[in-house]
Amino acid sequence: MSTDQSAAPIIIETTSPEETAELGRKLGERLRPGDVLALVGPLGAGKTQLTKGLALGVGAESTATSPTFKLVNEYDGRITLYHIDAYRLRGAGDLVSLGCDEFFDGDGAAVVEWADRVAAALPAEHLRIDIAITGAASRRFIVEARGTRAARLLRTLG
């Protein structure tokens, strides 16, 4: 984890699904190839809603949907956004079997829902986003950089 004090975790509150998507859009506009986002939170926390915004932010023409049964969706924009849903995976080995290195080291950025289920397969450099349900439509996002690359991305949000 980066020791850069300017990249301390930040907390962001949203009060609606639209605000959650807007947070994702702002973050998506800042993504570069090789960026990895690890989303952690319970069912209904807004992981897919945030990803919808990420897709908008990278300029994707298609709307992001949960890839629970496909496991991986790709959204093409100024960069490709790889949307990985680890909910049905049995662990990090399953993510490796999917070829996650191509998603993490390729020409796009990757967002992993249920990242805590596959944490051992995530690259050391990633932005972890813990999502808590704080009300019917409100959410709390704790955004933490893991590594210097992620710290750069985090600082653009602060």
Which tens digits make up the pLDDT trace of 43-75?
999 999 999 999 999 999 878 777 665 788 899
The distance from CA 146 to its chain's CA centroid, rounded to whole angstroms, is 13
Neighbour-count burial for 130-140, b at 16+ CB within 10 Å, e otherwise: bbbeeeeeebb
- DSSP summary character for residue 135: S
| pLDDT the model gives residue 2 | 36
CATH 3.40.50.300 corresponds to the domain 5-157: yes
For the chain, the domains span 5-157
What is the spatial distance between Cα 46 and Cα 52, in angstroms, rounded to a whole number? Answer: 10
Is residue 4 over pLDDT 60? no
Q: Edge-to-edge, what's the strand order for the sheet holding 10-14?
A: 10-14, 139-146, 126-133, 36-40, 109-113, 80-85, 72-76
Pairing of strands 109-113, 80-85: parallel
Summarised one tens digit per residue, pLDDT across range 96-120 is 887 778 888 888 999 999 999 999 9
pTM flag (> 0.75): yes
